[in-house]
Each structure stands twice: as structure tokens, then as C-alpha cells.
A and B are shown apart, each in its own frame.
Chain A
């Protein structure tokens, strides 16, 4: 296609763009909602008291009047907040400059964040429930790691704008890298397809998409079908109208997408910026390419993901235990209620644990609901979330590591979670965003997959990693590792042991005090009761801790038997087995530093700890494997040295 400029901008260079107007009311609405919920929870007691007073016919004021005052107060609060958000909105803008993206914000303290295009790592967006209803999302731009690691979060962008923004950022990055910033051409509203060149490019893209080789199996190739929005007459390609956000007519996606699939926001990233791949071979990063591999979660997998997830179970256990402890203390203190409590105690403990667990399950189900993972060009894209939706992607070149983890339950049933290590940016604007929990594990590309299927999904999603070493090729740890692991896990680092020691010491001190007569009992029965209680507690603690120690010992044996290390030309693999397992596969290119570490005991047996430091996570991630022979450690350090 002659004369087609690959660098087509849909944002004008140097112009200040605003975020969507809904920012002004949606932000306060959420805050007011929170105020109402918190206020209601806090005033339950007051309401109960008022109800009692009303029954007695002695209300201090008219309830209707109180409700009115409350509503007016909320309205005033809402108004003030809208005013503040309005001010914030006026001071908030983003600019695509020649070489960097800038985000301006702040009412009194003006803040501006600049991200050079060359450092843009990934552009992700997520939408809360309210934002999904409005049709906006929050875009996060992560930049390359290092000491100057910074990220930008631009809130309340229309979905269409966010996708154009992603395209724009990667287009400009490519332009900067090719040294062709001057070639960037701005077509106003290029996304609506008014420009002829753009339309021609689009036709070409559509052709390429439909002709794209489709891998067998569950691959969905979605050819763009254009339609005209009934509300505003805008011509569109995606599932939503580009200018008013209306949903596309139902018939459209059904024809091309056999799988039951929710409207896919990324599908509407029309390839406006088009064909710069031709000029910049294969380095293309976004949505105009066809999907070469895609999968989701079946309902069964989704359910099992939640059931085998650690977090709900751990939270439920903690809640159950704390209820049990509370009950135990109440039993100790009050004799009259003891009988009643012991009757309902067990159901309360079990019930609270189960309710907590179910809530945890629902949370996991919602966050992994409608999970899609796909490979598009050089990007791996993940979308997930039933209510709040999150869409994040990573260029294959930016993958720092592959992590394959099994929690205890998953290990028992032979399933695992696969994630990609990636660089995350500590967000300076809002550090407590919901992302942080997910980011701690990297980008989860499959939350629940059978171990022997891992190769299949990795080969589909990231064929570049085909040459990685497998656990079968691992060199096992030397014999000395077993004894050291048992000592380490059952004695030195065994917290259960220290709990037992602490409890025994407390018991001894108490016994001394009782025997010395510092503590007096009301009667002999009270004394006997106390003794019985202490012995039961002690026995319980010892039994539980002994169980934990045995489990840890079992884990240590598993670790020493099945852990190992392997490296080949391009990758290093550290496999830590045990009750829960983890494998880290790191490309040699992504190792920031390699280290070995040894303590005096290890040196006596000439063992070292291997460490692989990568830039994944917000700062850095270190994967370790203990008790590797010293020669292997030296060989590993040599292997990391650049070859020529």
C-alpha cells in the first residue's frame, strides 16, 4: 500500500486532553455510598435504641425530620465533593508530547508525571462496576523498571479512548525507537474511519485477520464487522459505539464468535495506526493483529480455582480460630453461660468459618469470572472479572519470568497456577489500588491448570519459551540437603516449636506462682478446674504443633527429594518442591544479577544458595534455591556472565 504512513496519531501532539466528565459525579457517588454504608453500620446501636424509645413512646425528635436532616446533609456533602472533583477535573489533563506522555493533576499542589515513550512497558486498564456501567475505565501506564520507576494512572477514560491511548503510546514508542517522530501524522477523529488512507488500511487489516492462520482448537478469530450506531450515526467496528458508548446490535458478534463470550473491549481496538509492522518488522505490539491462541476457564475450572484457592481457606481458618478462642475465654470466665455456649459453640465456630469461606469463594469467582487469555501478535492479553473488569497485557519481550506454583490443595490434585513475572510500577497517586494483590503474583495466565497441560498452554501463549528446561531435566540436590532441610524446617525455622516452648514456659511460670501461693483460688474445685483447663490447653497446643512439625518434616523430605536446578543456553529453572511448590523459569536475558550465598554450615558441606534477581514486581524479585553444590554455584555464576 503506497504512501501509507505507519505513524498515524489519533491524539494531537502537545494538546491537553481531558478525562471523561463522569469523573465529576461518579467519584463522589462512590464516596457517598461508602459514607452511607459506614454510617449505617456505625449507627446500628443508635437506631436500635431509638426503636426502643419509639416503642416506649418517648422519642426525643421526629424520625421523619431526622431522615430529612440526614438526606440534606448527604446532599450537601455530595455537592461539596462534586465541587472538589470538578476543580480536580479542571486541573487534570494528559498530553502526548514529542517524546513523552505527560499527566497533569492537582488542585493546589500541581503535579505532572512524564513518561518517556521509550520507557512505556505496558498499558492496562481496569474498570470498577460503576465505571463499567458508565463505560469508562482507569488506564495504568507502567514504565520500565529501575530507580526512576514510575507509573501513571489516568482515571475515567472512555473505553474507546483508552484503547486508542494504548495504540497511540505503542505507536509513538515505535516511532521514537525508529527515530521517526517527525513522521507522525495526526488525523483528527481517525478512529471513526473518515480518512481514506485509514479506511484502506482497515480493509487490509480485516483481510489479514480473516486470512490469518488459525491454530486448531479453541481459537476464536474475530473479524471486524462494521455497523452504524442507531443513536449517533457513528460508524463502528467494535462491540461498543466509539462516540456514544452504545452496545452493538446483538447479531453482530454472534456470527463470528461461536463461544459464549461477553463483549470484548479489546476487539474494538481497530487498527487505526495500521501497518507500521511492515516498516518495523514484527515489533508490533497491539490489537490489529489476529488472535493466534485463546482460552478461557470452564465453569468447573472456575469453581475449582476458587475452592482450591489459598486465601478464602486461610481467612476462614483464622476467623474460625478466633471465634474458638473467644468462646474458650468465655467458657473460662462465666460459669452460668458456659453450658449454653458449649451447646451452640461448635455450630458458631464452624458456621462462621463456612460463611467466611463462602464469601472468599465468591470474591475469587468474581475476580476470575469470564477469564480470557489470548495471544495477539507479540502481546499476551488477560481479561478477567465478572463485575469489575480488568484487562492487562504484556509484550512477550517484557516477560521477566514464568512462575508455576502449586498450593497444598492444588498439589494434592495435580493442578497449578501459571503466571508471568512482569515489572510493575509502584503507583504514586493511589498506592492502595486493588491491583497490588494481583501484581504480587505477576500476571496470572492460568489460575488452575493440570500440570501436564502447562506445556500446552505455554506453547500456545508463549511459543518463544519453548526451549525452556523442564523439571524432568533438573539436577537434584545433593544428599546433605535432606538433613539440612529437616533441621531447618523442623527445628530452626519451625515456629510451631517456638509456640510450644513459649506455652510451656508460661505454664511453668504460672505453676510456680500457684505453688508459691501468689495466686489463691476461691475453692478446691476452682483449683482443680484450673489445673484441668491448663492441661487440656497444653495437650492441645502440643498435639497441634506436633502435627505441624510432622507436616513440615514431610515437606522438607519432599523438598530435598524433588527440588532441583537446571539451565541451558537461554533459561535457568529453579524448582522448589515441598507441600506447596514453585518453579521459576528466567530467561538469561532477564537476569539482572546472579548471586550465590552461603552461611558457615553450608560452607562446611560446600553448599551454596542460588539466587536469581529479576526486575519483576514493583522493585525486584529474587528466586532462591538452597543447598546447591558450591561447584554448581560457581558454574551458574559463570553461565550468567555475558558470552561473546
Chain B
């Protein structure tokens, strides 16, 4: 296997991922609870399986929180690497399905920095590089790095042809 790209994201991005995932998981759990909890009480009247259902549900919730908030972020952080070379962008990411991208800058049409509310709290920004085909996002860089990366990518991308 090739050696990995040189740069890592800002370590604070782990906290951003945690908050982000916590919000989503809470929403999904709430939706599931709306279905599962009344169902378990209905089962209580039938045969008494309701208690078991509730325990399993609780265990699953705890497991999901632990996996997404404790286990995954550090691994994801270690696996997420990028490198901006003279004329291409190199990205490696993914834990189970590992992906490696090479994006020549002469194909890049736009580069933007984006800052959601959570990213802003941590003084981070994400850089989006879009080609005629797809967008590639580098999430969670500290603000100066992001700006520098964006300017650099924009400068390199100026050679890109609009016409595809």
C-alpha cells in the first residue's frame, strides 16, 4: 500500500463529530422510542415481554452512544488524512471501507470554506472542493489552515477549464 497523505485534521474535530452524532442519534432514538415504548407496554398486558423489550432497547441505545461517541471518533480521526500537493489533492478516509482519492486541481471548479454553528464554536471550518462531477469535503480544519488551503486550492484551480 502507498504511504498515507501527510496531514491530519484538527484534533478538535473529534468533539465536533461527537456533538453532531449525539444530536442525530438522540433524534433517531427519540423516534424509535415513540414506537418501541408504547409497544412494550402493550406487550406487558399480553405476556410480560415488555420489560425485556425495554431492557434490550436501553442496551442498544447505550451501545450506539458508546460506539459513535467514544469508539468511532478517534479511529475516524486517525484514518482521515489529506495532502495538498503541488497539483493534486490526496484524501484517505474510511474505517471499514477505506477510500483513497486523487483529485487533480486542474479539474477543480470551486473551492469554498463552510462553517456550521458547531464548527464555529470550535473555531473550525470545512473546505469543500468541487469538480464537475462531485464535491469533496475536508471537514474540521482550524480557520487559518482552512483559509490557506482554500486560497491555495483556488489558485491552483484557476488553471482549470470551465468547459468539461
Whether A associates with B in a native complex is: yes
Residues of A at the B interface (CB closer than 8 Å) are 118-119, 121, 144-147, 397-398, 400, 423, 590-600, 603, 606, 613-615, 619-621, 630, 633-634, 637, 640-642, 644
User: Measured between alpha carbons, how far is A624 from B12 in the docked complex, in Å?
Assistant: 35
B162 interfacial contact with A, CB 8 Å: yes
B126 CB–A CB distance under 8 Å: no
When A593-B134, A634-B2 are in contact, do A642 and B104 touch as well, CB less than 8 Å? yes
Q: Is the CB of A400 within 8 A of B164?
A: yes
The 5 tightest CB contacts between A and B, nearest first, are: A620-B133, A615-B132, A592-B133, A145-B132, A592-B131
Q: A597 touches which one: B1, B97, B136 (CB < 8 A)?
A: B97
Are the CB atoms of B104 and A640 closer together than 8 Å?
yes
Residues of A within 8 A of B107 (CB): 591-593
Complex CA distance for A118 and B130, rounded to whole angstroms: 19
| A599: chain B residues within 8 A (beta carbon) | 96-98
Question: In chain B between 130 and 164, which residues have their CB closer than 8 angstroms to a CB of chain A?
Answer: 130-136, 162-164
Asked if B110 and A640 sit within 8 Å, CB to CB, the answer is no
- Name 13 A/B residue pairs within 8 A (Cβ), A-sorted: A121-B163, A144-B162, A144-B163, A146-B110, A593-B131, A594-B101, A595-B99, A598-B97, A614-B133, A615-B132, A619-B133, A621-B133, A640-B104
Across-interface contacts of B109 in A (CB, < 8 A): 146-147
Q: Please name all residues of chain B whose beta carbon is closer than 8 Å to the beta carbon of A620 when the two chains form the complex.
A: 132-134
Interface size range of chain B in the complex: 20 to 34
B100 at the interface (CB under 8 A from A): yes
B133, A603: Cβ atoms under 8 Å? no
Chain B residues, CB < 8 A from A119: 162-163
Question: How far in angstroms is the closest Cβ of chain A from B159?
Answer: 9
> Do residues A423 and B87 form an inter-chain contact, with CB atoms below 8 A?
no
Q: What are the residues of chain B within 8 A of A397 when measuring CB–CB?
A: 163
Q: Are B132 and A595 in contact (CB under 8 A)?
A: no
Decide: A595 and B101 in contact? CB cutoff 8 A. yes
Is the Cβ of A642 less than 8 Å from the Cβ of B164?
no
Q: Provide the bound-state CA to CA distance between A633 and B98, in Å.
A: 13
Question: Is A423 in contact with B2, judged by CB distance below 8 angstroms?
Answer: no
Q: A119-B162, A144-B162 are in contact. Are A634 and B133 (CB under 8 A)?
A: no
Q: How far is the CA of A614 from the CA of B131 in the complex (A)?
A: 9
Partner pick for A642 among B101, B106, B134, CB 8 A cutoff: B106
CB proximity to A under 8 Å, residues B104-133:
104-107, 109-110, 130-133
Residues of A within 8 A of B99 (CB): 595-597
- Residues of A close to B96: CB separation below 8 A: 599-600
Task: Report the tally of A-B residue pairs with Cβ distances under 8 A.
Answer: 103
Q: A599-B96, A634-B2 are in contact. Are A592 and B134 (CB under 8 A)?
A: yes
B36 contacts the other chain (CB 8 A): no
Given A597-B99, A599-B96, A642:B87 Cβ within 8 A: yes
Bound complex: CA A146 to CA B111 (Å)? 12
Rounded to whole angstroms, the CA-CA distance of A121 and B103 in the bound complex is 23
Task: Closest A residue to B88 by CB, please name it.
Answer: A641
Q: Are B133 and A606 in contact (CB-based, < 8 A)?
A: no
Q: Are A603 and B98 in contact (CB under 8 A)?
A: yes
Residue in A146, A590, A615, A621 with the greatest tally of chain B CB atoms within 10 Å: A146
A644 to B104, CA, bound (A): 12
Contact A592 B102 (CB under 8 A): no
Residues of B within 8 A of A597 (CB): 94, 97-100
The answer for the CA separation of A595 and B92 in the assembled complex, in Å, is: 9
Q: Quick one: closest B residue to A423, CB to CB?
A: B164
CA distance A244 to B146 in the complex (A): 61
- Report B134 CB to chain A, min CB distance, Å: 5
CB of A389, distance to nearest CB on chain B (Å): 28
Docked pose: A644 CA to B97 CA in angstroms: 32
CB neighbours of A592 from chain B (8 A): 103, 107, 131-134
Distance (Å) between the CB of A95 and the closest chain B CB? 22
**A398 & B131 in contact (Cβ 8 Å cutoff):** no
How far, in Å, is A473 (CB) from chain B's closest CB?
A: 23
On whether the beta carbons of B133 and A642 are closer than 8 Å, the reply is: no
Which of B88, B105, B132, B134 has the largest count of A CB atoms less than 10 A from its CB?
Answer: B132
| Distance of A637 Cα from B85 Cα, bound (Å) | 14
Determine the chain A residues whose CB is within 8 A of the CB of B85 once the complex forms: 641
Alpha-carbon separation in the docked complex, A596 to B2 (Å): 11
* CB–CB B133/A593 < 8 A: yes
In angstroms, Cα B90 to Cα A640, docked, is 11
- Taking the nearest CB of chain A, how far is it from the CB of B2, in angstroms? 4
Q: Once the chains are docked, how many angstroms separate the CA of A144 from the CA of B130? A: 13
